[in-house]
Amino acid sequence: MVIEQRSLPSPHHPVPPALRRPRPHWGHLSRSVSRYGVVSSTLVIYAPDSPEIERRWAELARGYGVFAFGGGLLVWIGCAAAGIPPLAALVVIAAVTLPVGIVLARRTRAVRHAAATVSACCSGLRPDDEGRAAQRRLDAIADSLMGASAAYRAGDLDGPAFERIWRAAYAHALS
Block mean pLDDT (10 aa), the chain, length 175: 49 55 87 87 94 93 93 94 93 94 94 94 80 90 93 88 94 92
Q: Where are the alpha helices (DSSP H) in 4-118?
A: 52-82, 86-107, 109-114
Give domain limits for the chain: 2-174
How do beta strands 27-33 and 2-5 pair? antiparallel
What's the confidence (pLDDT) of residue 2? 45
CB atoms within 10 A of CB 132: 13
At CA 65, angle to CA 62 and CA 66, rounded to 5? 100
What's the confidence (pLDDT) of residue 10? 53
Q: Give the integer Cα–Cα distance in Å for 173 and 175.
A: 6
| Structural contact between residues 118 and 42, judged by C-beta atoms closer than 8 angstroms | yes
What's the confidence (pLDDT) of residue 38? 87
